[in-house]
Structure 1
């Protein structure tokens, strides 16, 4: 997994119980990031008289840091019996989300928000606690597929495709005997593979001139393919701090620049703002080569790790700048990737997601909030390091959804825009604040919006997919308008509405006919739509009293038609009562075929349909 990346970015919790002599051995292992060994020692303490909140928290954190979320949640549950440390509840909620236990995670987030109400994560939770359904149902941005870059039990991530179809990535698949004591896996090396026209890759090979005995990568490549920035463990350069209490050398991630010469990467130089006090990692270079984005926990970070940028100047580098709260949170933000059109992809554990790290995107040309890219890129597990090659129209990201970090391909879903322009069919006047819903092919409402001052509303839609607009406006007939399939671009629908035909005279309320099917007395959809207009009129005129007259066609015997029309009258009355009209304001009676609207002999089917109706006599205005 990518654990070395966050090694120096982990926020160690401070709890009410102090370290003591009994935890000294376990604490030294924990503080030197040897979490596997620390777990063994804390487990011994958890089964002894020395068990307390501190031990439980350290155990949970140790498991959390090696991404064993089931064990982490078990010990977080024990640690939260004393409600005094907000961050414990946040981490507990995160482990529950990874396991798909969203309701239980919400309970822990409620406590977190009560303990730390000003935290941006708490505010986001309180504003939208049950966000998962809407997140899961949002329009798909990418289709994904596994790649043939696989290794048995090893971790691969940080893939970046150059314009020459070379894929660089980092992996633990190296043959080195040196291992990271944190996760008992080999240190990371930089590898490369060649992409074919079909999207498959050649057998990966080590970029030997860049790899050391410690962690190397991930990388970013300039548009011309001749300049690389990459991350490297400080141990490789002798850049580390000695921790005398734990007798360990603690190195940080730093960024380095390399230049390609004769097919090899040479002239490796450290960037001037590297430090032994904090990490700088996950580089991403803008298309023009003038801005470098990266992740760091340097001073003035908003959270455990933030996304930063720095200008690349003729004589060096500018001052690193934090991207601010639209991107960063008190949690972890890392793995930035900047596209050719200035869209930033990054991974976050501090924004609302499915669990673990989720991939987000934000257009840096606009002042907007970052948005979750949704499924299938994101899952309940860790999903991160999404990069995108515009020329090949393909992205690559990593996920541990199958147990080990692996590289997946992400192809953008073709998205078009459907625009409804709503107007009065009779006058051509635009209609503002009309309600426009977009429906899928099964008739499910996807989203509803109101038209703007230009009578317009727009939705992003998938290409080659049919949709329907359903448009409503006061005093107009509700209409449906099909949206034709499109390959790309815009589909503009002229949604012209007909004014409602509700006429109130001295003696009756005249609607469109409330028709009944042959030999039926139930209210049809068309009838309900008309009766709703009557309900509106009666609610606007609270003293109005209505007498419903129901009629049949000339088919059948008179006695039967009287009974049928009576059922129709009562169905109509019952519908009005169900909409809140009181019993003293509405009554009805059936008249059979004694008062036909159209006198005919014999009658056509259309004439019979018009005679099957209800009328609405005003008894009192």
Structure 2
């Protein structure tokens, strides 16, 4: 059902209590009556008039009137006037007690919507200090201090305005057959205009778009801000910018203004009208379902033969279209209907409806056995909560609250469950970008309850306005949302979205690497990291000169960090950001232990205890037997799987000195060796048999030959950072992995300079080799600027090599800009900083090689 009605139910309870102290002065009585009966637009007008000359009113009455006026402006989404009244009232430092303390929270929310985040935090802090129960301000303060965390994924989604929208409210679509059923306040030429007391807006009905293919046309779905939004202007003042004037009636769902006549007290409401006509034909969904009441969000059983929908009723004297007397209250109830004889029939209430609370906003799991809905029934956490009920043998079970991980002291509403059982909902109680934000939480399909952490979807699916009513697939590839972002709070519209980038975006972590003994940070240490069990995602990074680096890792994943440093034991560290905050930076501290050196005299006394043997360790060595670095991988003998946690010992038979380390997740080890000495390689792990083998020395004669051979033909190290020209043909392109640049910089970093020294030596050893140096940027920023930046970078490399004595005639420099990324980080795609850095690289193309 419309969110305005849902919220009105809450305020009906809350603010009747807040206004118990009725004014004894007649000048305020009418204003208070309008406020208590949710007629906020009329209340604004009366309060403004009354406060000009508050004759006979007490200070307490005047304060109460000002707080009610400010809240009324907030509820009709006029945040400018709401800020004005709150600032004027609270700057006088009144003593607020009881329910009035909420004014600081309301002011903080208004300031957030007006993008005044620092001042918003100050009022959240006041709210936190004056009451003990509601601590949501703590999380809002954290988010307001790092809002970029929810905005960095903005390029991952394309948002399109669809042609079914009108100048009235249009929201909460659901899939039905080949089309969409949605809620709208359009009157369809009705001679009787039924209005909602909150803001004099039209009542709502269900409408139907028969075929989704209609939205695929240019006029059906257009990018936000395009000229195809079919907006026409009637007698409008040209100086007024679209979106700032009053041009459409408010609705029961959301409004900044009241009625066609407007009011001079609400910002923008006194200007001339705008009209917006749909560019795609829709029709009323059902004569039997649509009535003189509100019909709101609905859900269909997956065979399309049963519907659950929301309708409002009036409890007490008076009628929906007539005056409310003696405390008549509008409630929302859930109904079902069956499709028979070409229409919806057998309309009946769901048994747990009540005249004491409301139930609304249904959504069904794919098996039609679980329904989530919204209610303010007793047993909740505050405002409206999301509840769950089971449907078995044509009966609905007793509703169960989804608990405190989802429900807050604010309002949770508009739930939607995808085909995998994941739950989406909107909330103003969880920290967000403003007003209602859309959130996501994984669910246990068996229990129907949350199984993970609630996540804010972030921009652009969320904005500083109301965002709600999402429907999508399990991978969030495409779908629809409802939002009033276009006109800044006047109307709700339906938008189509398409995901272009990663599903989850990324979350920040600061990595610090220290010496375990001294606790001092390392100076620019290189390490690798990858998503667990996915070696194709491996990336490398280098800490700064104080041993730290900030990474943005793909959200909701487990990672492995691999660190190998000469003289230290290799480390494999697990890290998960599945439970990490969306807007707080995580921290990962890594301490490296020095290699263990054991003298032979002590080694002989050391006895290794081996428990019952289940498998045998196998050491797989590298093939480069002439290298002074001895590398390998320890695996299990049965299936050759790399083994972590194996102690590997490398014993020099000349000196009796042993090196020792423990393998990481990849099972690898690495030791320094003297070529003219024999070594013993031993491996130990509990429940494995001990592995031992002799590594023979390299004969002196062979060492000399190898040394000479290396001068003629350099060996290609495994890292690929140095290459042998005899292994490549003319035209080959070789990338030096360590030639990276800082963002927006063309200066050569110290780690890149060390790598370029190897190229200098190669060019010196091959005086007839001619190369083309190519420099690339990442895809962020302006393409022309990136092209110029890449040319400056390549010029810097050429200058560096020339300073080292390499003739400029042997080098050609070409800047490639952002035209050739090595990964999927194109325009509009959310990537980690490490992924962007891979694109900021330099490559060498061999133009000519003349051998003598």
- TM-score, length-normalised on structure 1? 0.67
**Structure 2: how far apart are the matches of 1:396 and 1:382?**
14
Change (3 A) 1:526 1:140: closer
Q: For 1:368, which of 445, 452, 459 is the aligned residue?
A: 452
1:103 matched residue in structure 2: 118
Contact persistence 2:178–2:210 (CA under 8 A): yes
Change (3 A) 1:144 1:241: closer
1:589 matched residue in structure 2: none
Q: Is 1:451 matched up with 2:560?
A: yes
Q: Deviations over 1:123-164 (max 9, x none)?
A: 424665513121222476643211111212x111111113x2
Q: Deviations over 1:158-190 (max 9, x none)?
A: 11113x222011111024411112212110111
**Structure 1: how far apart are the matches of 2:47 and 2:464?**
28
1:172 matched residue in structure 2: 185
1:227 matched residue in structure 2: 306
**Structure 1: how far apart are the matches of 2:318 and 2:335?**
13
Q: Deviations over 1:32-63 (max 9, x none)?
A: 22222111111122222236221011112222
Q: For 1:402, which of 474, 479, 486 is the aligned residue?
A: 486
Q: 1:563-602, aligned counterparts within 5 Å? A: none
Q: Deviations over 1:87-140 (max 9, x none)?
A: 211121112222222222111111111123442413424665513121222476
Contact persistence 2:19–2:36 (CA under 8 A): no
Which structure 1 segments of 5+ residues have no match? 419-432, 461-470, 477-492, 502-521, 531-552, 554-602, 607-621
Deviation at residue 206 of structure 1 after TM alignment: 0.9
Deviation at residue 30 of structure 1 after TM alignment: 1.8
1:158 matched residue in structure 2: 172
Deviation at residue 244 of structure 1 after TM alignment: 11
Q: 1:182-331, aligned counterparts within 5 Å? A: 182-197=198-213, 199-200=215-216, 202-207=280-285, 208-235=287-314, 247=326, 249-331=328-410
Contact persistence 2:299–2:362 (CA under 8 A): yes
**Structure 2: how far apart are the matches of 1:300 and 1:9?**
14
**Structure 2: how far apart are the matches of 1:156 and 1:335?**
14
Q: Is 1:3 matched up with 2:4?
A: yes
Q: Deviations over 1:454-481 (max 9, x none)?
A: 6556889xxxxxxxxxx998489xxxxx
* Greater displacement, 39-48 / 197-206: 197-206
2:48 matched residue in structure 1: 43
CA RMSD, Structure 1 to Structure 2 (Å):
4.2
Contact persistence 1:399–1:406 (CA under 8 A): yes
Q: Deviations over 1:413-437 (max 9, x none)?
A: 453799xxxxxxxxxxxxxx97749
**Structure 1: how far apart are the matches of 2:317 and 2:338?**
22
2:262 matched residue in structure 1: none
**Structure 1: how far apart are the matches of 2:182 and 2:667?**
50
**Structure 2: how far apart are the matches of 1:110 and 1:205?**
50
**Structure 1: how far apart are the matches of 2:201 and 2:321?**
23
Count of paired positions: 472
**Structure 2: how far apart are the matches of 1:389 and 1:128?**
28
Q: Is 1:52 matched up with 2:62?
A: yes
**Structure 2: how far apart are the matches of 1:454 and 1:43?**
67
Change (3 A) 1:245 1:291: closer
Deviation at residue 298 of structure 1 after TM alignment: 1.0
Q: Is 1:33 matched up with 2:38?
A: yes
Q: Deviations over 1:311-334 (max 9, x none)?
A: 112152111111111111101110
Deviation at residue 69 of structure 1 after TM alignment: 2.0
Deviation at residue 218 of structure 1 after TM alignment: 1.2
Deviation at residue 369 of structure 1 after TM alignment: 2.0
Contact persistence 1:436–1:472 (CA under 8 A): no
**Structure 2: how far apart are the matches of 1:529 and 1:276?**
77
**Structure 2: how far apart are the matches of 1:35 and 1:321?**
34
Q: Is 1:82 matched up with 2:83?
A: no
Q: 1:382-401, aligned counterparts within 5 Å? A: 382-389=466-473, 394-401=478-485
Change (3 A) 1:523 1:212: closer
**Structure 2: how far apart are the matches of 1:372 and 1:161?**
24
Q: For 1:93, which of 71, 94, 108 is the aligned residue?
A: 108
Deviation at residue 78 of structure 1 after TM alignment: 3.5
SS of 1:234's equivalent?
strand
Q: Is 1:412 matched up with 2:413?
A: no
Contact persistence 1:157–1:169 (CA under 8 A): yes
Q: 1:509-524, aligned counterparts within 5 Å? A: none
Deviation at residue 71 of structure 1 after TM alignment: 1.8
Q: 1:104-143, aligned counterparts within 5 Å? A: 104-125=119-140, 130-138=145-153, 142-143=157-158
SS of 1:21's equivalent?
coil
Change (3 A) 1:459 1:31: closer
Q: Is 1:64 matched up with 2:61?
A: no
Deviation at residue 199 of structure 1 after TM alignment: 3.3
Q: Deviations over 1:486-524 (max 9, x none)?
A: xxxxxxx989898899xxxxxxxxxxxxxxxxxxxx996
**Structure 2: how far apart are the matches of 1:240 and 1:120?**
40
Change (3 A) 1:88 1:74: same
**Structure 2: how far apart are the matches of 1:114 and 1:242?**
44
Deviation at residue 257 of structure 1 after TM alignment: 0.4
Contact persistence 2:164–2:282 (CA under 8 A): yes
Q: Deviations over 1:179-221 (max 9, x none)?
A: 1122121101111112343634651111222111121111111
Deviation at residue 19 of structure 1 after TM alignment: 2.1
Contact persistence 2:121–2:141 (CA under 8 A): no
Which structure 2 segments of 5+ residues have no match? 221-279, 445-449, 507-525, 531-538, 562-570, 579-588, 595-664, 674-746, 756-760, 762-803, 808-852
Contact persistence 1:35–1:65 (CA under 8 A): yes
Deviation at residue 445 of structure 1 after TM alignment: 5.7
**Structure 1: how far apart are the matches of 2:806 and 2:43?**
85
Q: For 2:14, which of 7, 12, 15 is the aligned residue?
A: 12
**Structure 2: how far apart are the matches of 1:89 and 1:308?**
30
Change (3 A) 1:174 1:180: same
Contact persistence 2:128–2:135 (CA under 8 A): no
**Structure 2: how far apart are the matches of 1:300 and 1:112?**
25
Q: Deviations over 1:565-617 (max 9, x none)?
A: xxxxxxxxxxxxxxxxxxxxxxxxxxxxxxxxxxxxxx9869xxxxxxxxxxx
**Structure 1: how far apart are the matches of 2:452 and 2:475?**
26
SS of 2:14's equivalent?
coil
Deviation at residue 390 of structure 1 after TM alignment: 5.8
Q: Deviations over 1:320-373 (max 9, x none)?
A: 111111111101110011111111110000111111000000001263221000
Q: Is 1:526 matched up with 2:748?
A: no
**Structure 1: how far apart are the matches of 2:748 and 2:354?**
76
Change (3 A) 1:392 1:117: closer
Contact persistence 1:254–1:280 (CA under 8 A): yes
